[in-house]
Amino acid sequence: MNDQRVPSIDALRPILKRSREVVLLAALTGVVTGYVVAVFDWLVVDQFFDRVLSMPLWAQAIMPIIGLIIAAFARFVIGSGASPATADEYLHAFHETGYRLTGRVAISRGIAALATLGTGGAMGLEGPSIYFGSASGSVLQRRLPRVFKGSDHRTLLVAGAAAGVAAIFKTPATGAVFALEVPYRDDLARRMLLPALVASASGYLAFASVHGVSPLIRVAGSPDFVFRDLAGAVLVGLVAGIGAKLFAWLILKAKKWADRPITMRLAVAAPTIVAMFVLGRILTGESLMLGSGYAVVQWSGEGGHAEWLLLAILVARSVTTASVLAGAGTGGLFIPLVVNGALLGRVIGDLVNTPDPGLFTVV
User: Does residue 362 have a pLDDT over 80?
Assistant: no
Q: What is the CATH number of the domain that holds 161?
A: 1.10.3080.10
The residues, ordered by sequence, that sit 6+ positions from 149 with a Cβ below 8 Å of its Cβ are 18
**One domain for residues 336 and 270:** yes
pLDDT bucket at 358, cuts 50 / 70 / 90: low
Are 193 and 234 within one domain?
A: no
Comparison of pLDDT for 21 and 28, the residue scoring more: 28
User: Under a CB-based contact definition with an 8 Å cutoff, are residues 246 and 317 in contact?
Assistant: no
Q: Are residues 167 and 125 in the same domain?
A: yes
Do both 100 and 239 map to the same domain?
Answer: no
Sequence-distant (6+) residues with CB within 8 A of 154 are: 93, 94, 192
Do residue 170 and residue 267 come from a single domain?
A: no
- 102-106, 171-175, 186-190, 225-229: the lowest-pLDDT one: 186-190
> Residues 172, 235: one domain?
no
- Domain's final residue, options 167, 182, 211: 211
Is 135 inside any structural domain?
yes
pLDDT tens readout for residues 79-90? 888 999 998 999
**Is there a domain that residue 220 lies in?**
no
User: Angle formed by the axes of helices 87-95 and 126-143, to 10°?
Assistant: 40
If asked whether residues 117 and 35 sit together in one domain, one would say yes
**Same domain? 149 vs 180:** yes
The domain boundary residue, chosen from 211, 244, 265 = 211
pLDDT at 15: 43
Residue 219 lies in a domain: no
pTM: 0.88
Does 2 reside within a domain?
A: no
Mean confidence (pLDDT) of the chain? 86
Confidence bin at 1 (pLDDT 50/70/90): very low
Q: What is the pLDDT of residues 160-211, one digit of tens each?
A: 999 999 999 998 888 888 888 877 665 655 678 888 999 999 999 999 999 9
Average pLDDT over residues 336-353: 86
What is the pLDDT at residue 9? Answer: 46
Q: Tell me if 218 is assigned to some domain.
A: no
145 and 206 co-located in one domain:
yes
Residues 76 and 170 in one domain: yes
Domain that holds residue 54: 9-211
What's the total number of domains in the chain? 2
Are residues 67 and 111 both part of a single domain? yes
- 8 A C-beta contact, residue 136 and residue 33: yes
Q: Which of these three, 177, 211, 245, is where a domain ends?
A: 211
In a domain, 216, yes or no: no
Q: Are residues 145 and 241 in the same domain?
A: no
In a domain, 293, yes or no: yes
Residue 217 belongs to some domain of the structure: no
